Amino acid sequence: MDIDVADDEQNTLNQIESVVSFISQFDSCVVALSAGVDSAVVAKAARLALGDQATAVTAESPSLPTGELQQAQQLAQLIGISHQVLQTDEFSNPEYLQNQGDRCYHCKSELYRQMDNQIELQVPLLKNRVLLNGTNADDLSDYRPGLIAASENNVRSPLAECQVGKASVRAIAKHWELPVWDKPAGPCLSSRVAYGEQVTPERLRMIDKAEQYLKEQSIVPVRVRYHRGDLARIEVPLKFIAVLSDPETRIPLEQHFQKLGFQFVTLDLSGFQSGSLNQLLQIDIPESS
């Protein structure tokens, strides 16, 4: 075996031990499980560390893309962790609907409140219980107002606290043969709505169906951004720009998007950029310690 490969494998094993050991300090936990790789790794580690005292929950709301809940349920079954679906109510919060730069804060605050209620019902007598999320070490250098909500609700982040970054998370997931080990990031649908434009279930439905249409054409990853005036801004990897510009693809795509409710359909020549709407904000990101 190549020495570098052996070193990588040992590093992965060491990080697994670190994360599992971190979670083992608690008596019970509830993991916020999306269908992404980060929270799947935390859920697996929690199951190894705490057995039946670990539970995973997935929030269901209009901001959840099609198929994500089903995949989260499949992941929980594969991991062997108890799983429940929470109905969150962030859409009743006017500050969430206003969609300012802190929208994610209000969403996560609602999620963690629901999770806290869930753990209180599940294990009310245990003192050393905790809420866990999938924040990894690399996330700390990005603009994530949800981290403030996590801090306010005493949510712990095993990956970040054990200094496990995204590449290492994927290596752990691959070691555990989790099917999402190479899955692209998939933030909530509300993140596609330009800041200052109101988030509504109808607009999220438009975005979701538009992205599903493109994914059915094997165009991934993809983002359909909603801008003022029912304008869709499509972000795809650069290799797909010529494909979408071809009349045989472009014309039916435009017609389909207009049927969904978009008045204008544009293609971003800069290509796919995760979190591109954050460029519209004046953000001061603190240096990670």
Is residue 19 scored above 80 in pLDDT?
yes
Nearest to 238 by CA among 275, 268, 278, 276: 268
Q: What percent of the chain has pLDDT over 90?
A: 84
Domains and CATH numbers, the chain: 3-175 (3.40.50.620), 189-279 (3.30.70.2210)
pLDDT 10s digits, 65-117: 999 999 999 999 999 999 999 999 999 999 999 999 999 999 999 999 998 88
Of the pLDDT bands very low, low, confident and very high (cuts 50, 70, 90), residue 124 is low
The helix/strand/coil state of 30 is strand
Q: In what order do the strands lie in the sheet with 82-87?
A: 82-87, 54-60, 28-32, 129-132
Alpha-carbon distance 265 to 178, whole Å?
36
User: What pLDDT was estimated at residue 126?
Assistant: 57
Alpha-carbon distance 111 to 72, whole Å?
16
pLDDT 10s digits, 204-223: 999 999 999 999 999 999 99
Q: Do residues 225 and 194 lie in contact, with contact meaning Cβ atoms separated by under 8 Å? A: yes
